[in-house]
């Protein structure tokens, strides 16, 4: 039996992070982890909202092993690469991990996998509600795009970004209560597009499909480099658009705010009874977000046509003029 302490004296290298408006502290025994998290580094942050303790040890990761997640009460267990072990203590807002040297130096893993998961699971304990939505912004005006799986949310999102919106997120966004309002954050993760989207975006013709974390074959691309679109880390939302594919005419009609609220509530993981305060906080943030205008966007045709209709509607309704990449 190997016993490893993650106490402060065992992990002497430390740093501070800022992610989705939350302050984090990190302790580790390896500079590789600090370098991998460079993107989130912050100085002099005061009291941390969450703590990350990472022990780097000489194990050998198995790249093809799929990740695994389980949870019970206030604890979540996760494994990556077969040998990397993570424990999320929701009550203490602590992440404890033992990882290989290879994983420690894998910035892509930390930035696009671990940090989004950390904010997703610890978020409700820190006043952050993960929302199953894409998010775009233009001239300070934000738009959340929600929809059931398979509705074409990511495809429409890229088409909208190519119409001049800045992309905040294509799948999960993080709503944080700040002062009297709510801010929406993205975590700059790759955009995931299904194989059939290659029919709409020539840029994907040279891309290879990869096995994503949930086992689906998909394109996972950096939107800035692949499509030349703008990205933004954060925005304040003006409206929520619920996307639904239609066989009939394209239409945009008001949607009852209670339905948008219900959608976000039901797409979030249930929290255990012992975390009722976090559950209430999450509910309040969802209520605050869904006080915005809510629209049902039913569209047929290709994503470019849908994006054009939605862009014109957004510009007229909110008096915004989107910067268009092709016009530069």
* Site for other proteins, rule CB under 8 A: 1-7, 53, 55, 65, 68-73, 75-77, 79, 82-83, 85, 87, 89, 92, 94, 96, 98, 148, 242, 244, 255-256, 259, 262-263, 265-270, 272, 296
Between 67 and 105, name the residue whose CB sits nearer to other proteins. 67
Minimum distance from CB of 319 to other proteins (Å)?
28
CB of 197 to other proteins, least distance (A): 22
Residues contacting 151, CB < 8 A, separation 6+: 243, 244, 245
**What's the CA angle centered on 91, arms 21 and 263, to 5 degrees?**
60
Nearer of residues 185 and 242 to other proteins, judged by Cβ:
242
Q: Which is nearer to other proteins, 1 or 327 (CB)?
A: 1
Name the DSSP class of 189.
P
CA–CA distance, 97 with 102 (Å, rounded to integer): 14
Which of 23/245 has CB closer to other proteins?
245
What backbone torsions phi and psi does residue 40 show, to the nearest 5 degrees?
Answer: -100, 5
Please state, in angstroms and rounded to a whole number, the distance separating the CA atoms of residues 204 and 226.
8
The token pair that represents 142 in the structure block:
């934000």
Apex 267 CA angle, 261 and 268, nearest 5: 95
Give Cα 52 to chain centroid, integer Å. Answer: 19
Min separation Cβ 65 and other proteins, Å: 8
Shorter beta-carbon distance to other proteins: residue 75 or 139? 75
Q: Which is nearer to other proteins, 143 or 255 (CB)?
A: 255
What's the closest the beta carbon of residue 239 comes to other proteins, in angstroms?
17
Choice between 70 and 108, CB closer to other proteins: 70
CA trace torsion 168, 169, 172, 173 (10° rounding): 0
| Exposure of 142 in the CB half-sphere (CA atoms within 13 A) | 24
Task: Specify the residue, 18 or 245, whose C-beta has the smaller distance to other proteins.
Answer: 245
Name, in order, each residue with C-beta under 8 angstroms of 255's C-beta and a sequence gap of 6 or more: 240, 242, 294, 295, 296
Least separation in angstroms between CB 12 and other proteins: 16
Distance of closest approach, residue 324 Cβ to other proteins, in angstroms: 31
Kindly state the helix (H) or strand (E) to which residue 243 belongs, with its residue range.
strand 237-245
CB of 136 to other proteins, least distance (A): 21
Instruction: Please give the distance of CA 95 from its chain centroid, rounded to a whole number.
Output: 18
How near is the Cβ of 255 to other proteins at its closest, in Å? 7
Residue found by looking up tokens 């065992």 in the block: 10
User: Rounded to whole angstroms, how far apart are CA atoms 318 and 328?
Assistant: 23
């Amino acid at each position: 039996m190997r016993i490893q302490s993650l106490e402060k004296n065992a992990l002497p290298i430390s740093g501070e992070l800022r992610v989705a408006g939350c302050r984090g502290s990190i302790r580790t025994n390896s500079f590789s982890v600090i370098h991998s998290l460079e993107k989130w580094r912050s100085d002099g942050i005061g009291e941390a909202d969450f703590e990350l303790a990472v022990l780097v040890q000489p194990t050998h990761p198995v790249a093809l092993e799929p990740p695994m997640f389980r949870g019970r009460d206030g604890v979540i267990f996760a494994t990556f690469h077969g040998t990397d072990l993570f424990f999320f203590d929701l009550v203490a807002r602590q992440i404890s991990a033992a990882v290989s040297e290879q994983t420690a130096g894998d910035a892509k893993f930390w930035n696009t996998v671990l940090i989004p998961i950390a904010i997703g699971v610890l978020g409700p304990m820190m006043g952050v509600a993960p929302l199953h939505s894409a998010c775009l912004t233009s001239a300070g005006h934000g738009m959340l795009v929600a929809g059931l799986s398979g509705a074409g949310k990511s495809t429409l999102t890229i088409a909208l970004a190519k119409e001049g919106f800045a992309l905040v997120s294509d799948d999960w966004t993080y709503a944080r209560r700040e002062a009297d309002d709510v801010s929406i954050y993205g975590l700059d993760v790759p955009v995931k597009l299904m194989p059939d989207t290659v029919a709409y975006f020539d840029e994907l013709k040279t891309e290879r499909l990869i096995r994503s974390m949930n086992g689906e074959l998909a394109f996972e691309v950096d939107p800035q480099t692949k499509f030349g679109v703008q990205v933004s880390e954060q925005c304040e939302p003006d409206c929520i658009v619920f996307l639904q594919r239609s066989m009939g005419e394209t239409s945009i009609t008001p949607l009852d705010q209670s339905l948008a609220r219900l959608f976000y509530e039901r797409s979030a993981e249930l929290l255990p009874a012992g975390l009722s305060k976090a559950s209430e906080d999450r509910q309040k943030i969802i209520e605050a977000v869904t006080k915005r205008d809510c629209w049902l966007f039913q569209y047929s045709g290709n994503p470019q046509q849908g994006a054009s209709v939605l862009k014109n509607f957004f510009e007229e309704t909110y008096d915004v003029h989107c910067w268009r990449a092709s016009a530069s």
